[in-house]
């Protein structure tokens, strides 16, 4: 049977046997043993509001996910070298949410793997290697995708930039070069791709493509101005490159008004990458692309992933997408997200430390600033840790780590939103009291 043990023992064991760069969130880490919807429970059974985890998309410990997993594990679980209706059912369900030009699915085990595969497809289709990508992005933890993840390669101790990758400034219209008062900012940010393309062409790498988190998340919960991605895509396609939308953070209804972030942009990607939420915690990544790109890739060696597209994975993935529909979770994300953003804007009018509130649905960022407008990393750390003291889990992001990240499971209710707002209000008041 499962033996809960005390937090100090687990922490000591972790320090003794795990790598030092496996980080823990919060000054006083939490140990979580049970979950239900957007609630988590620690070793004492104390409840926490999970306002951070996007992986349990349809909620922690969903009974339908448990039932499907148990049922499939009792029957059999195998790979894509054998036929199974669950594989095609999963592809059909995903493709029902995609634009018509995307018709081929690849199943893997993580967002990282899906992005690795995206690089291979881009190279196979274009015979080029060069990639353009926004600064501060994150696409995964392997050698290949670290090279397109400035958030990691430019971090302290990181491997540094590669000559086949050109970074462009994030289309951050709060803090970046072009701000919200500039109606041309989408096009101006897109134009930054021009010199990047020129460099890649000159270096001989050519342009295999452009990859971006549709809404940059680790870059600071940024919503690029409408029209940014289509303008970039046009430039990339003019060079024969392909356009990859990493929807790991933004996809599957989280944005409320849109099922995918690229819909907001009016963009038509050539490859869409899905991860995290699509398995609700079961390791699952998916790449969706056009027939033409899949055909180019099929000229090369066989593609196989032992666990990618396993019967179990396909059944769980399909069930997650069905639950989003059956429980109206995209609509819930729209309503609860609107309440949250309205409430945070009210806090912004009363607390000078809030410089910006941005987001869509349940993808939300709160940028904390000092009196002079600079990035208040210390205030951000304070608020995040005080929220944790009140047993509300949120995160922080951005190049200066001064943006609170609120990204709950899509089940969060009005009471949960009220808890976040009232607690944050009290904590922000502590700043002026101290
Ligand atoms: N892309 C994005 C946008 C992500 O946020 C992440 C994970 N944080 C990944 C890719 C990598 O996914 P995984 O950790 O599942 O490999």
For residues 133 and 150, the answer to whether their CB atoms sit within 8 Å is yes
Q: Is 252 found in the same domain as 341?
A: no
Distance 152 CA to ligand 1 centre (A): 12
**Residue 1 belongs to a domain:** no
Q: Is 359 found in the same domain as 225?
A: no
**Residue 278 belongs to a domain:** yes
Q: Ligand 1, residue 111: give the atom nearest the CA.
A: 12
**Residue 385 belongs to a domain:** yes
**Chosen domain end from 281, 301, 326:** 326
Cα 29 to Cα 25: distance, rounded to the nearest angstrom: 6
User: Over the stretch 335-350, which tens digit does the pLDDT of each residue have?
Assistant: 999 999 999 999 999 9
Q: Is 200 found in the same domain as 144?
A: yes
**pTM for the whole structure:** 0.97
Domain carrying residue 188: 63-326
Q: What is the distance, to the nearest Å, from the Cα of residue 265 to the centroid of all Cα atoms in its chain?
A: 17
Q: Is 308 found in the same domain as 397?
A: no
Mutational test site, ligand 1, from 140, 215, 283, 313, max ligand atoms within 8 Å of CB: 140
Residue 152 beta carbon below 6 angstroms from any ligand 1 atom: no
Distance 274 CA to ligand 1 centre (A): 9
**Chosen domain end from 302, 326, 350:** 326
Residue 110 beta carbon below 6 angstroms from any ligand 1 atom: yes
Burial classification of residue 99, based on how many CB atoms lie within 10 Å of its CB (0-12 exposed, 13-18 middle, 19 or more buried): middle
For residues 7 and 31, the answer to whether their CB atoms sit within 8 Å is yes
**Residue 292 belongs to a domain:** yes
**Residue 2 belongs to a domain:** no
**Chosen domain end from 290, 309, 326:** 326
**Residue 124 belongs to a domain:** yes
User: Over the stretch 207-255, which tens digit does the pLDDT of each residue have?
Assistant: 999 999 999 999 999 999 999 999 999 999 999 999 999 999 999 999 9
User: Over the stretch 309-345, which tens digit does the pLDDT of each residue have?
Assistant: 999 999 999 999 999 999 999 999 999 999 999 999 9
Residue 249 beta carbon below 6 angstroms from any ligand 1 atom: yes
Residue 5 banded pLDDT, cuts 50, 70, 90: confident
Residue 275 beta carbon below 6 angstroms from any ligand 1 atom: yes
For helices 193-203 and 228-238, give the axis angle rounded to 10 degrees.
20
Q: Is 101 found in the same domain as 165?
A: yes
- State the total domains in the chain: 2
Task: List phi, psi (to 5°) of 277.
Answer: -65, -20
Residue nearest to atom 10 of ligand 1 (CA): 139
Angle made by CA atoms 272, 276, 277, in degrees to the nearest 5: 95
ipTM above 0.90, yes or no: yes
Q: Which residues contact 335 (CB under 8 A, 6 or more apart)?
A: 256
Q: Is 45 found in the same domain as 93?
A: no
Q: Is 362 found in the same domain as 309?
A: no
Residue 1 banded pLDDT, cuts 50, 70, 90: very low
For residues 62 and 280, the answer to whether their CB atoms sit within 8 Å is yes
- CATH number of the domain where residue 142 is located: 3.40.640.10
Distance 151 CA to ligand 1 centre (A): 12
- Sheet of 363-368, strands arranged across: 354-360, 363-368, 403-406, 395-397
Q: Is 305 found in the same domain as 419?
A: no
Task: List phi, psi (to 5°) of 395.
Answer: -125, -175
For residues 358 and 221, the answer to whether their CB atoms sit within 8 Å is yes
Q: Are strands 104-108 and 271-274 parallel, antiparallel or unpaired?
A: unpaired
For residues 59 and 411, the answer to whether their CB atoms sit within 8 Å is yes
User: Over the stretch 175-219, which tens digit does the pLDDT of each residue have?
Assistant: 999 999 999 999 999 999 999 999 999 999 999 999 999 999 999
Q: Is 147 found in the same domain as 280?
A: yes
Residue nearest to atom 13 of ligand 1 (CA): 111
**Residue 256 belongs to a domain:** yes
């Amino acid at each position: 049977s499962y033996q809960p043990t005390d937090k100090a023992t687990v922490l000591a064991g972790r320090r003794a046997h795990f790598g030092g760069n496996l980080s823990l969130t919060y000054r006083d880490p939490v140990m979580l043993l049970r979950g239900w919807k957007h609630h988590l429970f620690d070793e004492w059974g104390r409840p926490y509001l999970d306002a951070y985890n996007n992986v349990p998309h349809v909620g922690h410990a969903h009974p339908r996910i448990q039932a499907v997993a148990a049922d499939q594990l009792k029957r059999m679980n195998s790979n894509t070298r054998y036929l199974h209706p669950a594989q095609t059912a999963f592809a059909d369900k995903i493709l029902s949410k995609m634009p018509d030009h995307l018709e081929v699915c690849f199943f893997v085990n993580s967002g990282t793997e899906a992005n690795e595969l995206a690089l291979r497809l881009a190279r196979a289709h274009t015979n080029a290697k060069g990639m353009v990508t926004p600064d501060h992005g994150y696409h995964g933890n392997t050698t290949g995708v670290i090279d397109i993840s400035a958030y990691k390669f430019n971090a302290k101790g990181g491997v540094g930039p590669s000559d086949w990758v050109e970074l462009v400034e994030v289309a951050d219209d709060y803090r970046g070069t072009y701000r919200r008062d500039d109606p041309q900012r989408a096009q101006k940010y897109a134009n930054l791709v021009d010199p990047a393309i020129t460099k890649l062409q000159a270096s001989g790498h050519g342009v295999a493509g452009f990859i971006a988190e549709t809404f940059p998340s680790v870059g600071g919960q940024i919503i690029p101005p409408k029209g940014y991605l289509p303008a970039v895509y046009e430039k990339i396609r003019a060079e024969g490159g392909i356009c990859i939308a990493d929807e790991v953070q933004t996809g599957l209804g989280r944005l409320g008004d849109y099922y995918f972030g690229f819909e907001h942009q009016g963009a038509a990607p050539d490859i869409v990458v899905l991860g995290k939420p699509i398995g609700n915690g079961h390791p699952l990544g998916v790449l969706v692309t056009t027939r033409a790109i899949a055909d180019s890739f099929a000229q090369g060696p066989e593609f196989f992933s032992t666990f990618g597209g396993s019967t179990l994975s396909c059944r769980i993935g399909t069930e997650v997408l069905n639950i989003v529909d059956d429980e109206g979770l995209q609509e819930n994300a729209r309503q609860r997200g609107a309440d949250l953003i309205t409430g945070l804007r009210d806090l912004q009018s009363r607390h000078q430390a809030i410089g910006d509130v941005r987001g869509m649905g349940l993808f939300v960022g709160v940028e904390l600033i000092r009196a002079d407008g600079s990035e208040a990393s210390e205030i951000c750390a304070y608020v995040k840790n005080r929220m944790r003291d009140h047993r509300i889990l949120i995160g922080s992001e951005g190049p200066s780590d001064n943006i609170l990240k609120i990204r709950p499971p899509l089940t969060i209710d009005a009471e949960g939103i009220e808890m976040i707002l009232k607690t944050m209000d009290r904590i922000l008041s502590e700043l002026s009291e101290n």
